[in-house]
């Protein structure tokens, strides 16, 4: 299809890479290196899959950020989901999450021991599970960034409309702009520019990054997930750095509007409210998450079952936290490809198909 193949043309890519090298050579005279963080896991995977890192000049470093929702899900959240499964409730979840280790087990292990854990490709499947099991409680594991938050949140009005009383959401929603702010404020991490996520931006809109850019003066370029999108995004970043400017540039204009998806934003604003969120390996970032608004607390699993999500205790040898912050690359972790593999992941970055460790393991060894 033209809207995929057109953005993968290798001949155009080669010319773009050459242009990027020219810009990087200008910057090499001014600074030691150029550190670009690709925030989104789908960018991480595309960069690895199309071997883009190998094409780029040596003074340009692409670092993966915390934008894989499964990877940043706290061990304590998994513990809470396992506890609810063991009480006999039906857990409905996106598939990736089943293999993420909590403080002890994974949901997959819990399932093999007989717990009712259903995999959903779409949140609407949770409604069907609820209809078919009127005497059981269904807990949907509501994780994700803005892209997933909007579809998942529609479960609340849908359940309400149909008078479905046995469905609730265990939320661990996360927001991208507060994460950019937290990463930029960490003195141990030096990021020159952000390659901003494609589909998160489709929901929040290009202008959602403006307060961050105005405050921190770090270029933010929104790019699609195809190779030419990513290369052109990098080119746009380098152009800003050469000109010593910082602004929001939307290069994924075929999908992302300046104002974003208003319908999705209205659903989020109506049913959810800001909350502090705990990011695996990073810790609590103030107001970087969303929870169910007080008026709809009957759909909140923590309220329904009187539980709270505590801080988990993941394997201390796992360095996913440092990977998520861009402090190390996966092979620098002693567990990588030894104790921790896609078949037996220790940390969440090896679990998810979009995790940095998984991407490195699959494409860069």
Partner 1 sequence: MCLAVPMEIVSVSDDGTAALVNMDGTQCSVDLSLTPGIQEGDFVVVHAGFAIEKLDRDEAEVRLQLFEELAQTQREEIARRNGGE
Task: List contacts with partner 1 (CB under 8 A).
Answer: 1-4, 6-7, 9, 11-12, 15-16, 18-19, 22, 40-42, 45, 67-70, 94, 96, 121-124, 144-145, 147-148, 150-152, 154, 197-200, 202-203, 225, 228, 232, 235, 251, 253-257, 261, 263-264, 267, 352, 354
Nearer of residues 113 and 162 to partner 1, judged by Cβ: 162
Nearer of residues 145 and 194 to partner 1, judged by Cβ: 145
Closest CA to 137 of 172, 175, 92, 171: 92
* Residue 148 per-residue DSSP state: H
Query: Under the phi-then-psi rule, with left for phi > 0, alpha for psi from -120 to 50, and beta for the rest, what region is 193?
Result: beta
Distance linking the first and last C-alpha atoms of the chain: 31
CB of 189 to partner 1, least distance (A): 22
Nearer of residues 61 and 257 to partner 1, judged by Cβ: 257
Distances 115 to 110, 187, 354 between C-alpha atoms, Å: 6, 44, 27
**Structure tokens, 193:** 């520019």
CB of 315 to partner 1, least distance (A): 22
CB of 124 to partner 1, least distance (A): 6
**Structure tokens, 197:** 């996520």
Nearer of residues 111 and 174 to partner 1, judged by Cβ: 174
CB of 34 to partner 1, least distance (A): 19
Distance (Å, whole) CA 118 – CA 91: 6
Nearer of residues 41 and 219 to partner 1, judged by Cβ: 41
CB of 334 to partner 1, least distance (A): 27
The stretches of the chain forming alpha helices (DSSP H) are 2-5, 10-28, 41-49, 52-55, 75-86, 107-112, 124-132, 146-153, 155-161, 176-185, 198-204, 210-216, 227-242, 262-271, 301-305, 320-324, 348-351, 356-363
Nearer of residues 251 and 356 to partner 1, judged by Cβ: 251
CB of 187 to partner 1, least distance (A): 29
């Amino acid at each position: 299809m033209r809207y995929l193949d057109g953005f993968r043309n290798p001949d155009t890519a080669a010319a773009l890479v050459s242009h990027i090298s020219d810009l990087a050579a200008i910057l090499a005279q001014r600074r030691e290196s150029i550190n670009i963080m690709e925030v989104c896991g789908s960018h991480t995977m595309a960069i690895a899959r199309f071997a883009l890192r190998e094409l780029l000049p040596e003074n340009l470093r692409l670092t993966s950020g915390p934008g894989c929702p499964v990877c940043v899900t706290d061990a304590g959240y998994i513990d809470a989901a396992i506890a609810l499964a063991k009480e006999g409730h039906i857990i409905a979840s996106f598939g990736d999450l089943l293999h993420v280790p909590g403080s002890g087990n994974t949901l997959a292990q819990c399932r093999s021991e007989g717990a009712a854990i259903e995999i959903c490709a779409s949140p609407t499947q949770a409604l069907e599970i609820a209809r078919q099991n009127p005497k059981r409680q269904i807990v949907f594991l509501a994780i994700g960034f803005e892209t997933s938050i909007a579809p998942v949140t529609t479960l609340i009005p849908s359940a309400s409309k149909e008078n479905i009383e046995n469905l609730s959401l265990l939320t661990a929603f996360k927001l991208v702009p507060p994460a950019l702010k937290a990463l930029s404020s960490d003195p141990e991490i030096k990021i020159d520019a952000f390659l901003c996520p494609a589909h998160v931006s489709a929901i929040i809109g290009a202008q959602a990054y403006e307060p961050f850019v105005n405050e921190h003066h770090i270029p933010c370029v929104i790019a699609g997930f195809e190779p030419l999108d990513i290369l052109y995004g990098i080119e746009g970043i380098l152009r800003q750095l050469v000109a010593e400017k910082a602004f929001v540039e939307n290069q994924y204009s075929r999908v992302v509007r300046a104002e974003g998806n208003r319908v999705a934003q209205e659903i989020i604003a109506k049913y959810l409210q800001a909350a502090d969120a705990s990011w695996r390996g990073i810790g609590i970032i103030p107001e970087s998450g969303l929870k169910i608004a007080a008026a709809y607390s009957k759909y909140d699993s923590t309220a329904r079952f009187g539980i709270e999500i505590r801080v988990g205790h993941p394997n201390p040898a796992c360095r996913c936290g440092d990977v998520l912050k861009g402090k190390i690359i996966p092979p620098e972790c002693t567990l990588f490809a030894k104790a921790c593999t896609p078949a037996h992941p220790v940390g969440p970055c090896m679990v998810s198909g979009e995790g940095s460790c998984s991407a490195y393991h699959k494409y860069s060894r």
